[in-house]
Amino acid sequence: MRHATGLMLIWLAATGVTLPEIGPPAPPKPAQSVTQDEAAAPAEEKGAADSSQTPPTPPLPSGTPPTPSPDPRDTPDATSAPSEVPAGKPEAPEAPVDAEKAGQPKTGPSKPDDGAAPTTEGKQEQADKPEPTAPPPPPDPAPVSEKPEELAMCLRDLKAIGADFTEDAMIDDETGCGIAHPVTVRRILPSVTLEPEATIRCETALSLARMTRDMLIPAAARAFPDRPALSGISQASGYVCRNRNSAETGKISEHAHGNAIDIAALRFSKESVPLMIAKQDDGTAEAAFQRALNAIACLYFTTVLSPGSDAAHQDHLHLDVIERKSGFRYCR
C-alpha cells in the first residue's frame, strides 16, 4: 500500500498535475467586476436575488486571515443629524457640575450665566450678598466744650496779666471747625498789641501772653539793646476753618479749633522785624534771637514749627496748644 502511494506521487510530480489544497476548484471569473465590499459581505445580508447573480466567493488559501467586513454603524454620514438631537435643533448644553461636590479639583472659575442664578446653594448666597463697601469717614468732631472751672480760671488769669480781649459767642461751622468759648484779643499785654486782632481760645491767648511777658520781651531787650522796647506782635493766622497746611484733604488744622496762632513779625515802635530762618552757623544777633525764640516757645506751647521747619512754614512761627499723650511736645 505504501509502495503504491509512493508511485502515485512520483507520477503526479512527473506529469505536473497538482491536487487542490482545499475544496473544489474555483469557477471561472465572470466578466462583471466585483467590489471588495460586495465580495466581503455575507450572503445572508445580500438576499436571495444577489446570490443568484453573483457567484460565490472562492475560499481563501490556508493560513490567510479573512478580511472583516466594515460595520455600517461605524461609517459617518455627513448628511444625517446626530441620533441624540433631532435634526434642525441645537444640541442642549450640559448642566454645570460642581467640581467640589463631584470630588474633582477645580480647574478654574466657570463663566457665570447671563443673568442666571447659580446652580449651587453657596453660589446663590454669594450672589445675594452685596459687595462690601468702605464705611463713610466719621464726621469731624464739634467744638469741644471747656470745663467751666478751667475756663473761668483762664479768663481770670488773662485779664490779670493785662490782655485786652472780649468774649465771643460759640463758633460752629458744622464742618468740624469752631470754638466753644472764643475770645478776640487786641492787646496781649498792656504794652504789646496783637496786630491784627485774633480770635482764639483763652488757653492759646494766655500762653502767648505769658511767653511774651516772661521770655520774649527780656530776650529782645538783650539781643537788640539799641532798639525800642517790643511794642507789637504781627500775627498771620488765628482762627480759620481749614485743613493742616491749607491742604485740600487731610486732617483739620488746629487753627480751626482756636488752638493755634502764627507769628510773622515783631514790631519795635515803628520798626517791624520779620521772623527769619536762623541757620546754626549764622552768628548774628538776629539769628541768635530767632533760635532763642524757637526754643523758649516750646516751654509754653506743645507744638512749635519755626521758620524753615518745612515747606509750609518758611516765614512764620506756628504755635499751638494741642494736648498730646503723656505731655509730649513737638518742637521743630
Question: 156, 141 in Cβ contact below 8 A?
Answer: no
Amino acid 29 reads: K
pLDDT value of residue 59: 55
The DSSP annotation for 109-177 comes to: PPPPPSSPPPSSHHHHHHHHSPPP-PPPPPPPPPPPPPPHHHHHHHHHHHHHTT-EEEE---EE-SSS-
Cα gap 264→266, rounded to integer Å: 7
Please, what's the largest Cα pairwise distance for the chain? 167
Question: 313, 294 in Cβ contact below 8 A?
Answer: no
Which stretches in the chain have pLDDT values below 70?
1-144
| Grid cell for residue 323 | 494736648
pLDDT value of residue 82: 42
Question: 253, 218 in Cβ contact below 8 A?
Answer: no
Residue 310 in domain = yes
pLDDT value of residue 173: 83
pLDDT value of residue 44: 44
Residue 263 in domain = yes
pLDDT in tens, 127-157: 555 555 555 444 445 566 788 999 999 999 9
Residue 78 in domain = no
Question: 152, 198 in Cβ contact below 8 A?
Answer: no
Residue 233 in domain = yes
Residue 188 in domain = yes
Residue 299 in domain = yes
**Residues in the chain, total:** 332
Cα-to-chain-centroid distance, residue 124: 26
Domain boundaries, position 298: 148-331
| Grid cell for residue 8 | 502515485
pLDDT value of residue 68: 52
Cα gap 202→110, rounded to integer Å: 67
Q: How many domains does the chain have?
A: 1
What is the rounded (10 degree) CA torsion for 251, 168, 199, 292? -100
Burial class (CB in 10 A: 0-12, 13-18, 19+), 230: buried
Within the chain, residue ranges assigned H as helices are 2-15, 36-40, 43-46, 48-53, 121-128, 148-160, 202-211, 217-223, 285-297
Q: Pick the closest to residue 276 from 310, 236, 230, 307 (CA basis).
A: 307
Backbone phi and psi for residue 269, each to the nearest 5 degrees, phi listed first: 60, -115
pLDDT in tens, 16-72: 555 555 555 555 555 554 444 444 444 444 444 444 455 555 555 555 555 555 554
Residue 44 in domain = no
Residues 6+ apart with CB under 8 A from 252: 140, 176, 177, 242, 243, 244
Residue 140 in domain = no
**Which pTM value belongs to this model?**
0.58
